[in-house]
Chain A
């Protein structure tokens, strides 16, 4: 047998292995990367347009500048008077004398979107839509105004201005903000970042203008409490099962283990009813307590405690240690790796748990991250940039925990498995 062909064959096989691993790896990474990229795109960029994904960032409008129409009016009056050749100036010159007066008064007085403000906004819209030169896709990256604005204007022609004014005033905060933003960007094209540039705005909006920040806090609180509870209760019980002798120990343990196969759907209905009777629905207690006990964790720690050397314990007894002190001063310090493994598994499980919080957390005050993220679908609809930013916020802590606790992670997984 000559050596060379084997060598060559081996190299081929190696190459094929790397190719396969690389392809699978890229396949795993692409969706995650796309999530991050989407979360960094401007919320109003054309989601289909990737041509200008990473141009140099320019000063962008702050989201809060856009939420109130009054700022737009103020800027339009100022810029329109000062600089007639700008886009704002051209719009200003096309407005009627009366509208200009009204806008000028409005810019001085400010306040909520009232009758007159609505009318002024409508006027601006009219001017924009009536003049293709001002509203050309070349100047402005968006092909059309938002559908709701167009609908309002269509109605303005058919039913008269008063009706559409009411409609404008009745727009939800989000819709008004969106409409206003489009207007702002049309009037001041030089002040917006080009579509598709990288921006952290999604994160800012998600964290400040929704209850996501609160949900983040809730998730951290619930996860910490659940993890702490599980560590305490299961290490105590595991110590008893592994290290103490008492009546019917192994039978009780077996019965205990057997409950692991009970599906969650069986226990969740009565638990919900119980908590409802206690008046605990929509409280932290409902989120934390049912999750603070674990059979799996008890099993995992028991396996570990069983492997601890008996001599240490005997020595501690000779020194006059009671059972509690042996647990605290001997068993626990020795089982740090197992406790860490259980902690990591619990943190990751608790962080992503969805069904139970969905059932018992009924107001935004007690939403955890997964629930809040789900409710986003209702608020943001298909505004994927916000949704993806929320998703990234949810994922990052898990990645950190994983990378810092990696070595405990695998050992935790293996305890529950058959010895291969």
Chain B
């Protein structure tokens, strides 16, 4: 085939995907960058405001010797988003532990794996509603169980202090037996058993084997799970906030994702919402670049 003809054939194969990519990814990204310089409520004509959205979002001023953010909500919600990500290492540790326990000669291993994976399969609005019910102050299973042992449980989702931990519990329950555990299991099965045998001969105990063999050899998997979880974490929190708490109480569970949604589709501040989205984009870009810089390097020692 001639080079040109070859290009043409390949182009034919790529076209359907490219059109979708162009219309629903590439152009929207450009449009979003443009939109972030406008004020627009979609009902009237857009108004060019230059960098005003950015300064409103990220800027601040001094008042009576204290620094005030122009948009304190944004920083609070960014903090919320970060706070909810504390659950990531906990969840990963539990996934790894489950995987290690499952990787022994366990009977009914597939059954256990399927049970742990159930919440991941069911994940979505239905489970969030279920947990809203579970956490219900009056009728919820959790408070009923607590009442049984004589403890009066809080209003999990309606208390400022308990709302965030409650959401973390939900996410932990949903994800700890999910894809991370499966990935860890796959990683564990790739570790040659001779290494453990050699370690046993050298007199290494279980903990030593874990720190010297298992964990280092799994570090690429760990890194992958961590980075993808962080990227997802920055964008996450919309569904649970929308379904379970409406971002409350008092903004305790509003994340950046939910804030963008509210600005765009509740208050119709398309420009400002795009600005927040661009900032989120930059954050995620940074995480991804860190991943590219360090993720390529294998951290294992064999």
Contacts and interface: CB of A to CB of B under 8 A. Distances in A.
Contact of B281 (A21, A262, A392): A262
A8 interface: no
Given A21-B112, A420-B187, A269 B29 contact: no
A246 B10 contact: yes
Contacts of A30: 141
A32 interface: yes
A11 B23 CA distance: 61
A218 to B, nearest CB: 14
Interface string A397-420: 011001000100010011001111
A24 B177 contact: yes
Given A24-B98, A29-B115, A32-B118, A418 B261 contact: no
B265 A359 contact: yes
B231 A261 contact: yes
B123 interface: yes
Contacts of B280: 263, 265-266
A240 B14 contact: yes
Contact of B133 (A38, A268, A298): A38
A372 to B, nearest CB: 9
User: Which of B11, B13, B239, B257 neighbours the largest number of chain A CB atoms within 10 Å of its CB?
Assistant: B13
B223 A384 contact: no
A115 interface: no
A352 B32 contact: no
Interface in A98-140: none
B141 A387 contact: no
A318 interface: no
Contacts of A273: 31, 42, 270
Contacts of A27: 173
A388 interface: yes
A237 interface: yes
Interface string B1-23: 00100110111011011101101
B244 to A, nearest CB: 10
A189 interface: no
A352 B281 CA distance: 24
A293 to B, nearest CB: 3
Nearest to B206: A13
A267 B32 contact: yes
Contacts of A270: 27-29, 31-32, 35, 274
Interface string A357-390: 0110000000001100110010000101001101
B285 A261 contact: yes
Interface string B113-146: 0111111011111110111011010110100100
B32 A266 contact: yes
Interface string A18-50: 101100110111111011001000000001100
A31 B164 CA distance: 19
A20 B176 CA distance: 14
A236 B16 contact: yes
A374 B277 contact: no
Contacts of B238: 354-355
A265 B257 contact: yes
Given A233-B20, A420-B183, A387 B133 contact: yes
A388 B124 CA distance: 13
Contacts of A272: 264-265
Q: Interface residues of B: mostly helix, strand, loop or mixed?
A: helix
Contact of B106 (A17, A292, A358): A17
Nearest to A353: B124
Contacts of B49: none
Nearest to A359: B265
A14 to B, nearest CB: 8
Contacts, number: 250
B24 interface: yes
Contact of B235 (A234, A263, A298): A263
Size category of the B interface is 35 or more
A39 B144 CA distance: 18
A269 B101 contact: no
A340 interface: no
Contact of A28 (B35, B177, B242, B260): B177
A232 B16 contact: yes
Contact of B121 (A239, A384, A391, A399): A399
Contacts of B177: 24, 28
Nearest to B109: A21
A413 B25 contact: no
A38 B281 CA distance: 42
Contacts of B179: 413
B85 interface: no
A236 B127 CA distance: 36
A271 B122 contact: no
B288 interface: yes
B167 interface: no
Contacts of B139: 47-48, 382, 384
Contact of A414 (B129, B183, B234, B276): B183
Given A17-B106, A265-B277, A418 B221 contact: yes
Nearest to A327: B13
Contact of A419 (B13, B220, B265): B220
A384 B234 CA distance: 31
A373 B127 CA distance: 11
Given A266-B28, A270-B274, 9 more contacts: A17-B106, A246-B11, A256-B21, A266-B274, A274-B31, A348-B121, A354-B239, A387-B133, A420-B186
14 contacts: A27-B173, A28-B173, A28-B177, A237-B18, A265-B280, A267-B25, A269-B277, A270-B31, A289-B24, A351-B124, A354-B239, A370-B125, A392-B126, A395-B121
Interface of B: 3, 6-7, 9-11, 13-14, 16-18, 20-21, 23-29, 31-32, 35, 42, 98, 101-102, 104, 106, 112, 114-119, 121-127, 129-131, 133-134, 136, 138-139, 141, 144, 173, 177, 179, 182-183, 186-187, 190, 217-218, 220-221, 223-224, 231, 234-235, 238-239, 242-243, 256-257, 260-261, 264-265, 270, 273-274, 276-278, 280-281, 284-285, 288, 295
